Amino acid sequence: MPMLKFENVSKIYPGNFVALEEINLVIEKGEFLSIVGHSGSGKSTLLKLIYAEEQATDGRVFFNDRAIDSINHKHLPYFRRNIGTVFQDFKLLPQKTAFENVAYALEVSDESPEEIAELVPEILEIVGMADKAQKFPRQLSGGEQQKICLARALVRKPLVIIADEPTGNLDPVATWEIVQLLMKINSMGTTIILATHNKDIVDKLNRRVIALDKGRVIRDHQKGRYAI
Amino acid sequence: MKSTKLKRTFREGMDNFRRNGWLSFATVSVLAISLYVISVTIILGITANMVLRNIQEKINVSMYFNSDVSESRILEIKDKLIGYQEIQSIDYVSKEVALEQFKKMGDKNPSITQALDEIGENPLLSALVVKAKNPSQYDIITKAISNASFSDDISRIDYEENKSAIDRLTNIMKLVEQVGLTLGVVFVFIGVLITFNAIRLTMYAHKQEFEIMRLVGASNTYIKMPFVFEGIFYGAVSAVVVMISLFVTSKFLAPLTQGSIGGGDLTSFYLGNFFTIFGGLLLAGIFLGTISGVIAIRRYLKV
């Protein structure tokens, strides 16, 4: 059973803007998939369909054989707890410390205080941010903020982590640290879907690469290199 | 909702309130100003009413009886008048009592005593002092008395002499009531509008956070609750601020209102009704804070 399946998926935004067209895609559990393409090629839209921020105009997206568009609005928050998300602009809550940002992901899913007290430091240790736990996002560098985001995405042990240009705002050193973290997370069994512009990353990863252009999949290689 | 959720969202709300120092300060200020204006309007309305009622208490109409009418006859008439629904009270002032009162006035003015001594006998008439329930009813009452069967016993009614003063007071009362009510409604409306807008802006500042919270898997209720608590804090803190401001205001105005409000001044009125005012403000503040918050959030909470 594939973890994610796109069946003839199209997404047309208001104003007749076609973001995705006839996408057919299967992603297996444990994969490390990179999605490459120019700005506006539909990478982010593809990802948004997975975490149900957008709905497909045509076709269906299945997550573990369940059609995402059939999920009741009320149950969406529960569904999203299976998916960790990381973004270029971090999306940390500015009024919370690093620790609290990570803990928040557990609090919303009703984890006990004991569980939170145990899990959060553990995860912060994994991403190498244990000593910055009490800092607010504004006191952290871009790379450090992104590590906190990864920690937050990871802490609920999601089935898949979706990373939309996670290194877009980072310097080369920080970029490489994040990629290594993603690889480490993947090696522990979590599926990773990474949208990126960064040629170096894709080439070094040497894993499956999908290239998008004008909303269509133009290439899908199991051991791919960056090429559009 | 489970108690851990309640506890967590309460703490969230408190942290938001504390950590967004300036935003909280601005929101509380706007809310406090609105509540202050609204409560001053209401308190002014109430006290103006009390002052007028105080003056109204002092208005009455006396009917003087011919000197040959016996006391028992006067009391008989008094019993008849008691049945009028427009009349609030009737006091019998016999000519002896009237003389006593008159002599007391003479203590300050020796010429009065002199004049009385010269006359030798009591020149005053017994009277019934009538108080109406409403100053506009004196007209009806005096007319009814003039046409009554006992009208021959009456020497005179001093209504005509007081008529213009009574009419003026009646008009003032009507005006104060209308203006007060209009102003009150306008101020309440403006206050609600300003508060609503301020809190909407506050929520707008949180807009991006709602998105983040949703992506992390927070349910709508979980996102909303901290802001409900935040609204409660806004309301509660504003209520305290307004209570202090009102106390200062009442102190400031106290000399002007000395003795006119139920025997005390504005400060004693404030202290006497402390808990009523505070409770009202607390309710109004919390209501305004949470309702406008919840309405504002709904716009940003598409799933």
Say if residue B201 is in the same domain as residue B272: yes
Residue B121, Cβ density class (10 Å: 0-12 exposed, 13-18 middle, ≥19 buried): exposed
Q: Which residue has the higher pLDDT, A185 or B4?
A: A185
Which of A92, A95, A109 has its CB closest to that of B217? A109
The rounded distance, in Å, linking the Cα atoms of A70 and A49 is 13
Integer angstrom CA distances of residue B167 from B116, B135, B147, B170, B260: 34, 8, 22, 5, 21
- A197: pLDDT strictly greater than 60: yes
- B197: pLDDT strictly greater than 50: yes
Say if residue B123 is in the same domain as residue B241: no
The rounded distance, in Å, linking the Cα atoms of A141 and A174 is 9
CB contacts under 8 A, A 33-62 vs B, are: 51, 53
What residue ranges do the domains of chain A occupy?
1-82+159-223, 92-157
pLDDT tens-digit series, residues A3-50: 999 999 999 999 999 999 999 999 999 999 999 999 889 999 999 999
- Alpha-carbon distance B287 to nearest alpha carbon in chain A (angstroms): 26
Tell me whether residues A85 and B215 touch, CB distance under 8 A: yes
**CB-based contact (8 Å) between B207 and chain A?**
no
Q: Which residue has the higher pLDDT, A144 or A1?
A: A144
Range picked from A146-150, B15-19, B172-176, B246-250 for highest mean pLDDT: A146-150
How many structural domains comprise chain B?
Answer: 2
Which of B5, B19, B215 has its CB closest to that of A110? B5
Do A27 and A186 touch, CB atoms closer than 8 A? Answer: no
Which pair of tokens denotes residue A150? 């990864």
**CB-based contact (8 Å) between B23 and chain A?**
no
pTM for the whole structure:
0.71
Nearest Cα residue in chain B from A73: B303
**CB-based contact (8 Å) between B212 and chain A?**
yes
Say if residue B49 is in the same domain as residue B12: yes
Interface test with B, best of A87, A95, A99 (most B CBs within 10 A): A95
The rounded distance, in Å, linking the Cα atoms of A221 and A210 is 7
Interface test with A, best of B215, B225, B298 (most A CBs within 10 A): B215
CB proximity list for B82: less than 8 A, separation 6 or greater = B90
Nearest Cα residue in chain A from B211: A91
Which of A73, A78, A105 has its CB closest to that of B216? A105
CB proximity list for B116: less than 8 A, separation 6 or greater = B99, B102, B103, B106, B123
Q: Which fold has domain A1-82+159-223?
A: Rossmann fold (3.40.50)
Say if residue B51 is in the same domain as residue B65: no
The rounded distance, in Å, linking the Cα atoms of A175 and A166 is 8
Say if residue B148 is in the same domain as residue B205: no
Question: How many CB pairs (< 8 A) connect A and B?
Answer: 55
> Which CATH number is B123's domain given?
3.30.70.3040
- Identify the domain containing residue B236 by its residue range: 3-55+170-300
For residues B96-110, average pLDDT: 76
For residues A102-120, average pLDDT: 91
pLDDT number for residue A92: 93
- B207: pLDDT strictly greater than 90: no
pLDDT tens-digit series, residues B126-182: 888 888 887 778 878 888 887 877 777 888 887 766 777 777 877 887 887 788 788
Say if residue B194 is in the same domain as residue B249: yes
Which pair of tokens denotes residue A209? 């690469």
Of B131, B162, B193, which residue sits at a domain end?
Answer: B162
pLDDT number for residue B49: 76
The rounded distance, in Å, linking the Cα atoms of B238 and A210 is 57
pLDDT number for residue A137: 94
Q: What's the whole-number average pLDDT of chain B?
A: 81
pLDDT number for residue B241: 94
Say if residue B143 is in the same domain as residue B16: no
For residue B118, the one-letter residue type is E
Q: Which residue has the higher pLDDT, A134 or B301?
A: A134
Of B162, B183, B212, which residue sits at a domain end?
Answer: B162
Of B142, B162, B182, which residue sits at a domain end?
Answer: B162
pLDDT tens-digit series, residues A51-105: 998 999 999 999 999 999 899 888 888 899 899 999 999 899 988 999 999 999 9
Which of A73, A92, A94 has its CB closest to that of B303? A73
For residues B206-210, average pLDDT: 84
H-only helix segments in B1-108? 3-19, 21-58, 71-82, 95-108
Say if residue B107 is in the same domain as residue B209: no
Say if residue B31 is in the same domain as residue B90: no
For residues B108-129, average pLDDT: 78
Say if residue B124 is in the same domain as residue B214: no
ipTM: 0.82
- B11: pLDDT strictly greater than 70: yes
For residues B81-103, average pLDDT: 81
